[in-house]
Amino acid sequence: MLMDVQLSVLPDGLRVISSAIPRVESVTMGIWIGVGSRYETDAMAGVSHFLEHLLFKGTKRRSAKQISMAIEGRGGYLNAFTQEESTCYYARVARDQMTLALDVLTDMYRSPRMAEEDIVKERGVIVEEIMMYRDQPQQVVQELLTDALWKGHSLGRPIIGSPESLAAMDRRRIDAFRCSAYVPANTVVAFAGKVEHGGCVRLVEQFFGGLQGRRLPPPPRVTARTRQAPLVLQGKDIEQTHLAMGVRIFGRHDKRRFALRILNTVLGENMSSRLFQVVREKHGLAYSVHSSFQLFEETGALVVSAGLDRKRTLKAVELILREIRRMKEKPVSPAEMKRARDYVVGQLRLGLESTTNQMLWVGDNMISYGKFLPPEDAIRNIQAVTAKDVQEVAESIFHEASTSIAMVAPETSDAMSRHLARLAAGL
């Protein structure tokens, strides 16, 4: 899939990237900032996400209602998200609303009102969001696993923060964080849709002119000395046992990431995967079982998640670990390799048919890699992955020392902990 992508770097360091799709009548644009939860101190945990909320509460020129009406009132869509290493504010609009949409996004970025009453109110909203997650065992178990994988590191904290850290934040501290991170050298403006690159650059120059600031220093790195907990169990009055098993792995720049993509597809990404077919279809031990992975600058994790029959939890864990060991011990068959390659390539091609996904692709490329990575290059790398490559990646990442297991269960015991430790030792 060829993308018509152009990149410009303005004198202040702000990057403008566009992907032209002449056949459509819409544009998706996003303002990306290279900051997220891993850049935060313990005392300011959750500030990136808090700030994302506050930017929608109004600016010096617009109320919260006027922000939403400016986009939604013209048939558009406005949203944002915060991750560990980036924050993005984006809008999808008809082509003739492009200037207005960028004006709104830039207004939020440059001149948030951050009134004291909004901070108090939104703090309460986010605390309720935290409480909602605490009532969801599938969310709780993921947070337990994240903490276990990167013990004592900012990557191990929830992106949303905690009630205690949020309570300690006032307007001065939140705005100081914004002023340090929301600067041109740390920002990418990405466009995809019916656009012309020169016009995009001129709009960005018009709305972002006069801003200054240096790019943020890199956050603390994960090293071999970063602690990892092998096992975390929590009892909760629920009907299922919720499992999250994670392996700490390499970062996003590692060439093995293409083989990892195939490995994850074979292991547990979809209904054709080994985990789904064995744990759910053959043995009926779970409704939901799947694997996924996430790569950061210098580290990452492959995670297996499942909601399990409370009476046969250990049997299910044994089956999951058996399939993981099989990835190490025996090459994937040619037929399974072809299905996995076709799935990954098909998902990539289907995803990039939308303006929003193309904007996310080019924006994330610039924030994560500092350059545009053509999807056809990714497809070539995926198609070049061999069964030997997949097996070698499995052998390199699946070890007891790099594995953490988190579980939220109706009942926990020392005997269960010992049994899980024995099963993990088999890796």
- Kindly state whether residues 201 and 299 are assigned to the same domain: no
- Kindly state whether residues 14 and 65 are assigned to the same domain: yes
As a whole-number percent, the residues of the chain with pLDDT over 70 amount to 100
Residue with tokens 């919720």: 242
Q: Bridge partners of 189?
A: 16, 31
> Residue 285: what residue type?
L
Task: Classify residue 418: in a domain, yes or no.
Answer: yes
**Tens digits of per-residue pLDDT, 311-333?**
999 999 999 999 999 999 999 99
Of 208, 240, 266, the last residue of a domain is 208
Task: Classify residue 226: in a domain, yes or no.
Answer: no
| pLDDT score, position 106 | 98
CATH value at residue 336: 3.30.830.10
Residue 214 binned pLDDT confidence (cut-offs 50, 70, 90): confident
Residue with tokens 């300690």: 168
- Kindly state whether residues 151 and 262 are assigned to the same domain: no
Residue with tokens 């049994």: 419
- Kindly state whether residues 364 and 304 are assigned to the same domain: yes
Q: Are 321 and 423 in contact (CB under 8 A)?
A: yes
Task: Classify residue 268: in a domain, yes or no.
Answer: yes
Q: Bridge partners of 35?
A: none
| Side-chain-facing half-sphere of 184: CA atoms under 13 Å | 18
Print burial letters for 325-337: b (CB count within 10 Å at least 16), e (below 16): eebbeebbeeebb
20 phi-psi bin (left φ>0, alpha ψ -120 to 50, beta other): beta
Task: Classify residue 216: in a domain, yes or no.
Answer: no
In 3D, which of 295, 286, 298 has the Cα closest to residue 244? 286
Flag whether pLDDT at 80 surpasses 80: yes
Of 159, 176, 208, the last residue of a domain is 208
Show the tokens assigned to 186: 């740390």
How far is 299 from 290, CA to CA, in rounded Å?
21
**Tens digits of per-residue pLDDT, 112-168?**
999 999 999 999 999 999 999 999 999 999 999 999 999 999 999 999 999 999 999
pTM of the full structure: 0.95
- Kindly state whether residues 140 and 196 are assigned to the same domain: yes
- Kindly state whether residues 357 and 263 are assigned to the same domain: yes
Q: How many domains does the chain have?
A: 2
- Kindly state whether residues 172 and 299 are assigned to the same domain: no
- Kindly state whether residues 172 and 252 are assigned to the same domain: no
Flag whether pLDDT at 305 surpasses 90: yes
In 3D, which of 328, 212, 181, 316 has the Cα closest to residue 267? 328
- Kindly state whether residues 156 and 255 are assigned to the same domain: no
Task: Classify residue 363: in a domain, yes or no.
Answer: yes
| Side-chain-facing half-sphere of 74: CA atoms under 13 Å | 19
| pLDDT score, position 3 | 94
Q: Write phi, then psi, for 286 (nearest 5 degrees).
A: -155, 150
Task: Classify residue 299: in a domain, yes or no.
Answer: yes
- Kindly state whether residues 47 and 182 are assigned to the same domain: yes
Task: Classify residue 201: in a domain, yes or no.
Answer: yes
Which residues are the active-site residues? 52
Span of 275-289, 294-308, 364-378, 412-426 with lowest mean pLDDT:
412-426
Ranges of beta strands (E only) in 152-261 are: 187-193, 231-235, 241-249
Domain range for 16: 4-208
Flag whether pLDDT at 11 surpasses 90: yes
Show the tokens assigned to 230: 């092998």
- Kindly state whether residues 251 and 187 are assigned to the same domain: no
- Kindly state whether residues 236 and 204 are assigned to the same domain: no
Task: Classify residue 217: in a domain, yes or no.
Answer: no
Going 206 to 12 to 201 to 108, the CA torsion angle's sign is negative
